[in-house]
Amino acid sequence: MKAKLQELRSRLVEIGDLNAAAALLYWDQSTYMPAGAAAARGRQQATLARLAHEKLIDPAIGKLLDALQPHEQSLPYDDDDASLIRVARRQYERATKVPAAFMSEFTEHNAASYEAWAKARPANDFKAVQPYLEKTLEMSRQLANYFPGYEHIADPLIDLADYGMKANTIRPLFAELRQRMVPIVQAITSQSPADDSCVHQRFPEGKQRAFGLDAAKRFGYDLNRGRLDKTPHPFTITFSITDVRITTRFKADDLTESLFSTLHEAGHAMYEQGVRLEYDGTPLGEGVSQGVHESQSRLWENIVGRSRGFWTYFYPRLQKTFPQQLGSVPLETFYRAINKVSPSLIRTDADEVTYNLHVMIRFDLELALLEGKLSVADLPDAWHARYQSDLGVRAPDDRDGVLQDVHWYGGTIGGSFQGYTLGNILGAQFFAAATQARPQIPAEIEAGQFGALHGWLAENIYQHGSKYTPNEIIERATGGPLRIEPYIQYLRAKYGELYRL
């Protein structure tokens, strides 16, 4: 058994190494690569992806998993070896259920579709991508059907991003959230919007970078095992538990852009850095799902980073960093500026309160498309109608409507968006559980200390990597299933005070 387990582990680590090499190529592509290298880089990434996939679907892995099943069953569920076998089996089954020919056709189609979208968006030409999107819908359905036995056709696609979550549990949760958020949004937007001119002055990039990175470091982001670089679309990427990098982008006339994206990515990165070192390179050695991952980034970005307590400590320092711009701006004005709420057209620019409405529109449209209740041809109008009813705004065109997000044009229809809102809900649920267990957390934050919060997250979430499923993590960390109540309470308390609701 020991030898078999050792062989399984070394095969899995080899796959992990290939994926890490591909990730490093991607990081370089998104930060420093000269533009002329694009074609060669694409080929190199495809080669590594193919090698990793071939190694994963190798029947030898299936045989090892079968042989190890009795061993797994003789061990407790949370034993590390049992967990490795269990999670490896899930990955193996996922990879082998989808025929290789379908996978390469889908990958090729996604590349073509992405290219069409990259031209169609600036040209505001939905018709140009419509045939691609129709094929994407058909192929997304086909992909789901390689995993028969689902309750809802979106479930296998949701599973790929948020394992164990189902359309029929997310839908009522989102419906309730939407129902309870719309009146909050209406009450806020009936008032005159906050004046955020103080964050729209000239802020030199070097000082922005230093301030954001200092905050990330104080949160607990370990720069001995990470670094910060510039990119057009910020992301976090892991090459190993000992090398987790973040990226950000700067706007000279918007202080919030790089600051909050740095804090957001630091939240993702601390999760990856906090996984137990023994899991490195194996399927256990990374964050468990999109939703749980996003809960970590949104928790640090919003619940901590946009809180009054955080700025009680950090605002005097920010004023010292930018004395000309902020020296005479009161904390209260700044706090209101960074928490300004106003319904907008673009998801990625949305504030904390309206953000979920953007996500839920996309989630509902994905389900309607998969169910055959909505055709791709009718998608742009359905999009506008939902923005009108949910946010009270209407994009002048499709560029800022249905063409704004890349997700459907480079991946599946289904499973692409729910993780963002699950992350917001979960971030609040985890934070509430953390402060209940460690009541000193709010006072620490006001003193610029984050050890108690970081420690609770490390102990209850980070260290486990992918050992437990998302639902198990939630249950273990908070003592109950996913619930929206802590999130609603958080928004009510914060924005009730800000807007005297």
Catalytic residue annotation: 265
Site for Zn ion in 47-66 (CB under 5 A): none
Nearer to Zn ion, 282 or 295 (CB): 295
To Zn ion, the closest distance from the beta carbon of 267 in angstroms equals 8
C-alpha triplet 228, 301, 154: angle, nearest 5°: 100
Residue 121 in tokens: 């968006």
- Burial of 116-125, coded b for 16+ CB within 10 Å and e otherwise, reads bbeebbeeeb
When binding is defined by CB under 5 A, the residue of 19, 140, 258, 297 that contacts Zn ion is: 297
To Zn ion, the closest distance from the beta carbon of 30 in angstroms equals 15
Q: What is the contact mask toward Zn ion in residues 243 to 282, using x (rule: CB under 5 A)?
A: ----------------------------------------
Nearer to Zn ion, 185 or 266 (CB): 266
To Zn ion, the closest distance from the beta carbon of 19 in angstroms equals 19
DSSP code, position 238: E
To Zn ion, the closest distance from the beta carbon of 236 in angstroms equals 7
CA distance 187 to 468: 40
CA distance 215 to 221: 9
Size of the site for Zn ion (CB under 5 A): 1
Site for Zn ion in 80-109 (CB under 5 A): none
To Zn ion, the closest distance from the beta carbon of 265 in angstroms equals 7
Task: Give the closest residue to 470 by CA, choosing from 307, 277, 271.
Answer: 271
Contact region with Zn ion (CB under 5 A), list: 52-60, 160-168, 289-297, 372-380:
289-297
**Mapped to the 3 state alphabet, what secondary structure does 255-271 carry?**
HHHHHHHHHHHHHHHHH
CA distance 468 to 455: 19
Strand (E) or helix (H) holding 501: none
Nearer to Zn ion, 487 or 499 (CB): 487
To Zn ion, the closest distance from the beta carbon of 261 in angstroms equals 9
Q: Is 356 in the site for Zn ion (CB under 5 A)?
A: no
Task: Give the closest residue to 143 by CA, choosing from 112, 101, 90, 102.
Answer: 102
Q: State the virtual CA torsion across 356, 359, 361, 366 in degrees, nearest 10.
A: -150
CA distance 143 to 421: 24
To Zn ion, the closest distance from the beta carbon of 248 in angstroms equals 12
Residue 344 in tokens: 């907008």
Nearer to Zn ion, 300 or 335 (CB): 300
Nearer to Zn ion, 27 or 499 (CB): 27
To Zn ion, the closest distance from the beta carbon of 215 in angstroms equals 17
Contact region with Zn ion (CB under 5 A), list: 15-23, 141-149, 292-300, 405-413:
292-300
Contact region with Zn ion (CB under 5 A), list: 112-120, 153-161, 294-302, 408-416:
294-302
**Strand 228-230 and strand 243-248: pairing?**
parallel
C-beta of residue 475 within 8 angstroms of C-beta of residue 430 = no
Nearer to Zn ion, 84 or 360 (CB): 360
Contact region with Zn ion (CB under 5 A), list: 215-223, 297-305, 410-418, 445-453:
297-305
CA distance 161 to 359: 15
Whole-angstrom CA distances from 88 to 11, 36, 176 are: 11, 38, 36
Task: Give the closest residue to 21 by CA, choosing from 265, 284, 243, 278.
Answer: 243
Contact region with Zn ion (CB under 5 A), list: 118-126, 168-176, 291-299, 385-393:
291-299
CA distance 255 to 272: 27
Enumerate residues 6+ apart whose C-beta is below 8 A from 268. Answer: 236, 246, 287, 293, 296, 297
C-beta of residue 215 within 8 angstroms of C-beta of residue 314 = yes
Contact region with Zn ion (CB under 5 A), list: 208-216, 290-298, 322-330, 466-474:
290-298
Point out the residue whose Cβ comes nearest to Zn ion.
Answer: 297
CA distance 104 to 178: 38
Nearer to Zn ion, 300 or 499 (CB): 300
To Zn ion, the closest distance from the beta carbon of 294 in angstroms equals 5
Residue 257 in tokens: 């852009």
Nearer to Zn ion, 264 or 454 (CB): 264
Nearer to Zn ion, 106 or 260 (CB): 260
**Which residues are at the interface with Zn ion (CB under 5 A)?**
297
